[in-house]
Structure 1
């Protein structure tokens, strides 16, 4: 997720709009408050911890531990029910794979609610085919190492999500060089 931390905590609606316009998905302020599922994504609190004032940190942890706020429940679907490509745990040699998953296990999906996040890229412009219940995204920026994918949608008015990981082995194994016999003289 791409986040912007407001320097010194001074911000207003214009700052929020500019941050969103350049691609940030969340804005952190220095207004200390616990973060819950119901926190607004454009004004998330963070704490300024000063070495000579450790009580601020203790108070913040205490507040979080006693916070009763919780978000709407999210139903999670196991990766084995997705027919994802690349598959969960798979290693691919293609750093620009077509990432896809069949979301039939989500139930009746609101097509406009489907989103896909790819680690290192954030929210990607994935396409959803309601006829096949398949969400897909052709990667355009090379991936590397371990990649996580999160797909979310609304089904029956409730949020449903699934995630899986795969590895990218760029270049893969080089083909063996065949030895040619030396010509006879």
Structure 2
């Protein structure tokens, strides 16, 4: 009588093990593959806060895109606050990279806590280039059409047709890094 009991137990254990293994296999097939994860991480690069001192502004290349990274100092913040008057802007809204809706071009909507400004330094014409920290509003100057931008990337004077396209960002790693959303999806 013991022999059939043992066969039943071994068979039951094998079936249960197979079911658990099948469930684990099915669950793992629903996870993204390594190439999908790598693509997603590439579209959401992280910038180290310690790499930029207050007042630093530069154009860096991320995923073959030219991106303005500006860490404002107190003087920049004060000047930006004085420029935050909608009646002086040519355009009331700014595009956000990867999003269909525009945002009101208020300084709080286009910066990260008023300290960090991220925007695309790309134009449809390949001969257009921005000069950083210049122009009549101490923001950016675009030489081809003599476009003057203020500290929040809003076109104020000249031939530029729109405000700069801003990039959404948020602090990560307990404030040690900033994650940029180049795909527009936070």
The TM-score range, normalised by the shorter chain, is under 0.3
Return the TM-score normalized by structure 2: 0.21
Q: Which has the bigger relative contact order, CA under 8 A and spacing at least 6? A: 2
Return the TM-score normalized by structure 1: 0.21
Higher helix share: 2
Larger radius of gyration: 2
